[in-house]
Amino acid sequence: MKRLIHLAFLLIFAASVSAQQISIIPKPAEMHLKDGNFTLNATSSINYDTNNIEISRIAQFFNDYLETVYGFEATENADGNSISFKIISSLDLGKEGYLLKVETDAIVITASSANGLFYGLQSLKQLLPVEATNTSLAIPCLDIKDQPRFAWRGNMLDVARHFFPVSFIKKYIDILAMYKINTFHWHLTEDQGWRIEIKKYPLLTEISHWREETMVDHYNSGKGMDGIGYGGFYTQDQCREIVRYAAERYITVVPEIEMPGHSMAVLAAYPNLGCTGGPYEVTGVWGVHKDVYCAGKEETFEFLQNVLDEVLDIFPSEFIHIGGDECPKDAWKQCDACQKRIKENGLEDEHELQSWFITRMDKYLSSKGRRLIGWDEILEGGLAPEATVMSWRGEKGGIEAAKQKHEVVMSPNSHMYIDHYQSRDKDKEPLAIGGFLPVQKVYSYEPIPEALNAEEAKYVLGVQTNLWTEYVATTKKAEYMLLPRLQAQAEVAWTPKKLKDFKDFEKRLETDYLRLDKLGINYRNHKQ
């Protein structure tokens, strides 16, 4: 009887271990669990084409992970059971799809490109037991056939309101890569600070990166300013290092250079680019400010084109984000040069002047072989011919753009703004900009609006979360605001709609929290 009870306990324990290990986020498109386990230890063989740089790097990523988390590495081309990484170009799963097959004596990840191979590796890492008592890891046998639902799976980090060191930007990219996010939108310029070195305009990193003080709390808090100077910027070499680091993890860095609004930091250094000539200052007050680039002066466009030339040299991304949001028209209404521009070009008003401004930058980027993307305000006054819209003020802008046959990234503040509170009880949460966005709501989002027909829906590239940092001053808080809402968004962007199940996601998330603990990554436990 005791032997039967002991056997039953072992079976239950084995089943619970397997259940814990099958906690892949985002959930694969197809997965079939089989009997048995693959035993991974230091005698296991890791096999790959050593002449292929990308495959070699991916294999090394796996061994680095084993060494960091479990204290051992697999042995290259040994005689033990094997883990193999293979590229078969004829595999019909797209650039990012992969096959992952785990047998008792072999694990094989196959993809048509290195991108898919890398994503297969992320799934394999999540199959490893979180709590290992020795250097022998049991991986459940299974078959996975997987590929993403959307091409654009993005996350934006604002480094203009608060600056983060290169070391953290790399850690942040590593976190994105864990969940198969493939686009890092880097918000580099704002009213409160300019964060990228532009060699033609040295005052940007002498004056524009630094503000004299910062808001302590919300406008109505009565706490005023902190009286503490704040700044920081990335050199061009550092930016190139981030681009290289991200590319090795199959993440494209899309830089954002704000225009025509959110530009007070620039005007503080180059007041000739504003309508009044200043004086201006780098502000420490959040929100929307009325001083913007002058649309009537040719020197404004000379400046922006020169800046973009250096940006394009650093960032090879197809898309360049130009902001385009929250641009008050007050200064333009009073500016003779702007009014002259309106008249000369037969424009109806200042909204059409903004459209003219964006169209001009769109044409410039197109002439350089790049594509302009901007927030949905770029629709106002007419959408530039080649522009892509990032819809943030709900879905209306995205729907309108898709119906005009323009590509769209859905990023509505209702579901994708992860600077919002994660609990209704705000007193128990760190200070945030406002709003309430729990992980459940992020998970519930459907990127294809019902208002679009099947043909129009093809223009939706994907979905993106945004982490604005007015109230995110530390790396630990950035991680807290990011996770677990990033995991929810990742599943929205990757997993087939029919497979989404929040209760199932929650179970996998519990295991993922243990994994994050092991990796030293901060997060908010959504059940606490």
Render pLDDT for 302-315 as a digit per residue (tens, 0 to 9).
999 999 999 999 99
Give the CA distances from residue 387 to residues 108, 366, 378, 401, 452, in Å, rounded to whole numbers and listed in that order. 41, 10, 9, 9, 19
Q: Per mean pLDDT, which range of 8-22, 30-44, 145-159, 413-427 is the poorest?
A: 8-22
Listed residue (213, 201, 349, 321) closest to 267, CA to CA: 201
The pLDDT of residue 345 is above 60: yes
CA distance 55 to 50: 7
**Residue 212 C-beta-side C-alpha neighbours within 13 Å:** 5
Regarding whether 316 and 335 lie in a shared domain, the answer is: yes
What burial class does residue 428 get, using C-beta atoms within 10 Å of its C-beta: 0-12 exposed, 13-18 middle, 19+ buried?
exposed
> Is residue 185 situated within a structural domain?
yes
CATH of the domain at 54: 3.30.379.10
Q: What is the arithmetic mean of pLDDT over 82-108?
A: 97
Regarding whether 271 and 134 lie in a shared domain, the answer is: no
Regarding whether 247 and 125 lie in a shared domain, the answer is: no
Structure tokens at 74: 């697999």
Structural contact between residues 375 and 392, judged by C-beta atoms closer than 8 angstroms:
yes
Which of 86, 120, 146 delimits the end of a domain? 146
Contacts of 270 (CB under 8 A, 6+ apart): 201, 203, 303
State which H helix or E strand residue 358 sits in: helix 350-367
Enumerate the β-bridge partners of residue 109. Answer: 85, 100
> Is residue 12 situated within a structural domain?
no
Structural contact between residues 200 and 306, judged by C-beta atoms closer than 8 angstroms:
yes
Regarding whether 301 and 450 lie in a shared domain, the answer is: yes
Regarding whether 58 and 195 lie in a shared domain, the answer is: no
The pLDDT of residue 12 is above 90: no
Which of 146, 169, 201 delimits the end of a domain? 146
- Confidence grade of residue 5 (pLDDT, cut at 50, 70, 90): very low
CA distance 263 to 281: 10
- The string of DSSP codes covering 75-97 is EET-SSSEEEEEE-TT-SSTTT-
Digit-coded pLDDT (tens) for 425-452: 999 999 999 999 999 999 999 999 999 9
> Is residue 213 situated within a structural domain?
yes
Contacts of 185 (CB under 8 A, 6+ apart): 154, 155, 156, 157, 254, 256, 321, 464, 466
> Is residue 190 situated within a structural domain?
yes
Structure tokens at 372: 């302009």
Q: What is the arithmetic mean of pLDDT over 493-513?
A: 97
Structure tokens at 367: 């002439």
Residue 311's pLDDT is what?
98
Q: Per mean pLDDT, which range of 3-7, 42-46, 200-204, 351-355 is the poorest?
A: 3-7
Average pLDDT, the chain: 95
Regarding whether 326 and 199 lie in a shared domain, the answer is: yes
- Confidence grade of residue 135 (pLDDT, cut at 50, 70, 90): confident
Quick one: how far is CA 259 from the chain centroid? 21
The pLDDT of residue 370 is above 50: yes
- Confidence grade of residue 96 (pLDDT, cut at 50, 70, 90): very high
Residue 21's pLDDT is what?
58
Q: What is the arithmetic mean of pLDDT over 5-10?
A: 39
3-state helix, strand, coil in the chain (%, to 5): 40, 20, 40
Q: What is the arithmetic mean of pLDDT over 148-163?
A: 98
What burial class does residue 326 get, using C-beta atoms within 10 Å of its C-beta: 0-12 exposed, 13-18 middle, 19+ buried?
middle
CATH of the domain at 493: 3.20.20.80
Residue 20's pLDDT is what?
43
Regarding whether 315 and 196 lie in a shared domain, the answer is: yes
The pLDDT of residue 80 is above 50: yes
> Is residue 6 situated within a structural domain?
no
- Could you list the residue range(s) of the whole structural domain that residue 32 is in? 17-146
Instruction: Print burial letters for 141-159: b (CB count within 10 Å at least 16), e (below 16).
Output: bbebebbbbbbbbbbbbbb
> Is residue 451 situated within a structural domain?
yes
Which of 92, 118, 146 delimits the end of a domain? 146
Q: What angle do CA 410, 193, 426 make, to 5 degrees?
A: 60
Regarding whether 406 and 299 lie in a shared domain, the answer is: yes
Enumerate the β-bridge partners of residue 44. Answer: none
Residue 134's pLDDT is what?
79
- Indicate the number of domains in the chain: 2
Q: What is the arithmetic mean of pLDDT over 249-271?
A: 98
Residue 250: which region, alpha, beta or left (left: phi > 0; alpha: psi -120 to 50)? Answer: left
Structure tokens at 387: 């522009």
- Confidence grade of residue 330 (pLDDT, cut at 50, 70, 90): very high
CA distance 239 to 44: 38
Regarding whether 156 and 131 lie in a shared domain, the answer is: no
Regarding whether 200 and 136 lie in a shared domain, the answer is: no
- Confidence grade of residue 131 (pLDDT, cut at 50, 70, 90): confident
- What is the reported pTM? 0.95
Length of the chain: 528
Report residue 100: phi and psi, to 5°: -125, 115
Digit-coded pLDDT (tens) for 209-220: 999 999 999 988
Regarding whether 168 and 67 lie in a shared domain, the answer is: no
Listed residue (176, 20, 127, 27) closest to 500, CA to CA: 27
Per cent of the chain over pLDDT 70 is: 96
Regarding whether 176 and 130 lie in a shared domain, the answer is: no
> Is residue 1 situated within a structural domain?
no
Structural contact between residues 519 and 69, judged by C-beta atoms closer than 8 angstroms:
yes
The pLDDT of residue 10 is above 70: no
Q: What is the arithmetic mean of pLDDT over 480-500?
A: 98
> Is residue 526 situated within a structural domain?
no
